[in-house]
Amino acid sequence: MRNWDYRYCWLRDATITLEALLRTGYTEEASQWREWLGRAIAGDPRDVQIMYGVAGERRLEEWQADWLPGYENSAPVRIGNAAVTQRQLDVYGEVIDAITLGRQAGLRFDSHTWSLVRAQLRFLEKNWSQPDEGIWEVRGPRRHFVHSKVMAWVAFDRAIRVAELGRPGAEERWRAIRDQIHAEVCQQGYDEKRGTFTQYYGSTELDAAVLLIPEVGFLLPTDPRVVSTVETIQRELTSGGLVLRYTQPGADGGPGGGIGSPTQVDGLTGGEGAFLACSFWLVNALHLIGRYDEAEKLFDRLLSLRNDLGLLSEEYDPRYSRQVGNFPQAFSHMPLIQSALNLEEHAGHHCRRPGRKTSVAP
């Protein structure tokens, strides 16, 4: 059963929360979270975790409470989360993107902050080419996940922008690495035959996380590879019109996963519903490529799934027309806010979307 203890602060989730706070005018709250981030990740970059306790706790060992039946008998009940020990290289891009976004909004960015960014980059320089567990925290083998590489590109790209504004750094080396990552992803992470970016190098599997490629400025929304990727995911990675996280070869049931044996990608048994955050990512991607009517239609559909308090869980199961998974889920609500602001063309100056000058790789 895919039951996980989510009573922690994921750096990835928190960075999209920072953007939502800034774009809606909650600058003081964003500043307070930014200070928490600085305390949490201070020290050796090798020790940065993907998640922490809300007070900055680092020890989150996972164990099973075998005497508890779980919600609707969904045992095992897990306490703690073993994903805390995983390598998820995209987190470094998320953190650096958040710090530089905060800088643009006037949050504190002093010499200590810049030293912290450069330390993160020194670690990433040596490790971006390694496989990892990726954004979905797979418990299968490490792979070269496309989204992880894209976010590594983001880390160097954002640091270069800051350096160009007067902060001393290693811009030439960073540019070389950024361009190397870009070329590698476009060559090894794109399936020419199917016309789509895939989940990991050499695979044919789809992953909703690649919908973020135009969002973070890796490629322009007008790039044919972006358009065809969005269309492929919309066509092949949906259930009941909502987006699944990724295809799961070896699955034998459920809307997005198996019920008997572990799948080939994530090493887990059990099915799952459509992922609401991924569905909002599709809203944003459709909006970026100019499919405004489709984006608004999907957004309205997603709003209709909220409960009487306007809240969303992590997933939605179209088979039974019900919300499932962790509830309420910030990773669903923050993309909702992003999509609403994007559709209204609101507060673009505090948006992670870079300007339209992003270059397109050959």
pLDDT tens per residue, range 298-312: 999 999 999 989 999
* Residue at a domain's end among 161, 188, 215: 188
Element spanning 274, H or E: strand 274-275
Element spanning 278, H or E: helix 276-288
Q: How many folded domains does the chain comprise? A: 2
Q: Are residues 59 and 179 in the same domain?
A: yes
Q: Are residues 229 and 163 in the same domain?
A: no
pTM across the whole model: 0.88
Nearest-angstrom CA–CA distance, 265 and 267: 6
pLDDT of residue 84: 84
Q: Are residues 112 and 17 in the same domain?
A: yes
Asked if residue 351 has pLDDT above 70, the reply is no
Q: Are residues 74 and 182 in the same domain?
A: yes
Q: For tokens 């680092």, what's the residue?
A: 58
Q: Are residues 118 and 265 in the same domain?
A: no
Q: Are 118 and 169 in contact (CB under 8 A)?
A: yes
Q: 274-275 and 315-317: which strand pairing?
A: antiparallel
Give the range of the structural domain holding residue 86, as residue numbers without chain letter. 1-188
* Helices (runs of H) and strands (runs of E) counted in the chain: 10, 11
**11: CATH:** 1.50.10.10
Mean pLDDT of 134-151: 92
Nearest-angstrom CA–CA distance, 232 and 229: 5
Residue whose C-alpha is closest to residue 159's, from 181, 175, 179, 146 = 175
Amino acid identity of 142? R
Q: Are residues 178 and 201 in the same domain?
A: no
pLDDT of residue 321: 85
Q: Are residues 235 and 361 in the same domain?
A: yes
Q: Are residues 88 and 213 in the same domain?
A: no
Q: Are residues 210 and 146 in the same domain?
A: no
Of the ranges 31-40, 43-52, 145-154, 319-328, which is most confident?
Answer: 145-154
The per-residue pLDDT of the chain, averaged, comes to 85
Q: Quick check: bond before 76 cis, omega within 30?
A: yes
Nearest-angstrom CA–CA distance, 128 and 121: 10
Q: Are residues 296 and 348 in the same domain?
A: yes
Q: How confident is the model at residue 192 (pLDDT cuts 50, 70, 90)?
A: very high
Asked if residue 278 has pLDDT above 80, the reply is yes
Nearest-angstrom CA–CA distance, 69 and 190: 44
Q: Are residues 170 and 209 in the same domain?
A: no
* Residue at a domain's end among 188, 210, 235: 188
pLDDT of residue 263: 55
Q: Are residues 310 and 265 in the same domain?
A: yes
* Residue at a domain's end among 153, 173, 188: 188
